[in-house]
Amino acid sequence: MARFQGIDFYDLDALFSEEERMVRDTVRDWVEDRLMPVIGEAYHNRRFPTELIPELGELGVFGANLPEQYGCAELNNVAYGIIMQELERGDSGVRSFTSVQGALVMYPIYAFGSEEQRTDWLPKLASGEAIGCFGLTEPDYGSNPAGMITTAKQTSDGWLLNGAKMWITNGSMADVAIIWAQTGEIGDVKGIRGFVVPTDTPGFSAKDQEGKLSLLASDTSELVLQDVEIPDTAVLPGGSEGLKNPLMCLTQARYGISWGVVGAAMACFDEALSYSKERLMFETPIGGKQIQQVRLADMLTGITQGQLLCYRLGRMKDEGTMTPQQVSLAKRANCDMAANVAREARRLLGANGILVEYHSMRHMANLESVYTYEGTHDVHSLILGQTLTGISAF
């Protein structure tokens, strides 16, 4: 089979720097050579391909936009986005693993952590020697984390954590968890703080979420914190009070997702286009039928719009002008686009489209999770509605 080229209809390649193109080619080759041969089996067997973690570390994809001083690649945000795109071209679970590690674990330690927390954790997380997870969502507080009931009570020599976190990516594999907990009265958003919790602390446990039909090559777990005692040095001391710190982490992760899902859509488009040229029905390739050409034209249009959105968003992030609301628009639009492209690609493939050796159905199933996590499509609609009208409709 031909190596993946990736559709680039508006020649964005011409706008990327040499370094950005090099990053793309390196990660693209790694995905082609190392991930694609195992991803079907891993998905089918519901396992994250842990054997690839050291290679991902060597590639420098974890926290790739954070400083070299902490063992990171210190790339710009466009290059970081390109990494997400190329990884998700392989599988959303592998991109998710990487985004959680970088945007939701390394970023808060870097942005809100003490120097000791940074030097203790960032180099190990950058190399993949340590794995992290991010616990914000609770069983009854998904879209509305402000209501969380996991508590952190101050003791004479530290903190005592109690509660449960749900749907936590990398939860059972993690060495360290960033746990968000209420230090004041329940409902008082100003009391929410982040804690760096080693997962071998007594009272901390993780259990796999069973019964998933999406993101099968990804660890999703429930965390239970029962009288987990941690020292004062485990609090993330920096940033602001309340929910703003975790929401800032979400902005980083949503930015990466906006790029990532374009990669998944590009993979589905590529598969559908080659299939349309090869599959003969009624004695001609199905790609010669007008219905399939409309389908391909719609897919190409969505992908091209998504690529342009990411490119501009990335340049604004590098200039320091990007807003969380602009990220909401990109996350919302691109997840919707990618889910539609994957579904249409799967349909174009006919019965073969439901097989694991083709990729579109795996992407289609994965993208239902991506559409939901990091703020559902509806939540991002309401964020944009509030931005436009000044009225909260939550």
Site string for ligand TGC, 2-41 (x = CB under 6 A): ----------------------------------------
Span from 22-30, 53-61, 206-214, 244-252 in contact with ligand TGC (CB under 6 A): 244-252
The helix (run of H) or strand (run of E) holding residue 288 is none
> Which entry of ligand TGC, ligand FAD, none binds 245, CB below 5 to 8 A by partner kind?
none
Torsion sign over Cα 14, 20, 25, 28: negative
| CA dist., res. 24 & res. 30, Å (int) | 10
What residues numbered 309-338 form the site for ligand TGC, per CB under 6 A? 324
* 374 carries an active-site annotation: yes
> Shortest distance, CB of residue 244 to ligand TGC, whole angstroms?
4
Mention every residue, 6+ apart, whose C-beta is less than 8 A from residue 159. 152, 153, 183, 195, 229, 230, 231, 232, 234, 235
> Which entry of ligand FAD, ligand TGC, none binds 358, CB below 5 to 8 A by partner kind?
none
The helix (run of H) or strand (run of E) holding residue 224 is strand 220-231
| CA dist., res. 276 & res. 353, Å (int) | 12
145 binds ligand TGC, rule: CB under 6 A: yes
Q: What interhelical angle do 290-319 and 324-348 show, nearest 10? A: 160
Cβ atoms of residues 93 and 368 within 8 Å:
no
> Which entry of ligand FAD, ligand TGC, none binds 248, CB below 5 to 8 A by partner kind?
ligand TGC
Query: Among residues 26 and 372, whose Cβ is nearest to ligand TGC?
Result: 372
Site string for ligand TGC, 268-307 (x = CB under 6 A): ----------------------------------------
Query: Among residues 16 and 167, whose Cβ is nearest to ligand TGC?
Result: 167
65, 77, 96, 214: residue in contact with ligand TGC (rule CB under 6 A): 96
Residue 272: both structure tokens together:
């559908």
Nearest CA to 345 among 313, 300, 378? Answer: 300
> Shortest distance, CB of residue 235 to ligand FAD, whole angstroms?
19
Place of tokens 């909260």: 392
Mention every residue, 6+ apart, whose C-beta is less than 8 A from residue 104. 132, 133, 134, 178, 249, 250, 252, 253
What residues numbered 163-192 form the site for ligand TGC, per CB under 6 A? 169
63 binds ligand TGC, rule: CB under 6 A: no
72, 136, 330, 365: residue in contact with ligand TGC (rule CB under 6 A): 136
100, 322, 338, 341: residue in contact with ligand TGC (rule CB under 6 A): 100
Query: Among residues 134 and 275, whose Cβ is nearest to ligand TGC?
Result: 134
Torsion sign over Cα 54, 19, 303, 64: positive
Place of tokens 């485990």: 234
Place of tokens 């994965």: 366
Place of tokens 């939860």: 171
Q: Write out the catalytic residue numbers.
A: 374
Site for ligand TGC, rule CB under 6 A: 96, 99-100, 134, 136-137, 143-146, 169, 243-244, 247-248, 250-251, 253, 324, 373-375, 379, 383, 394
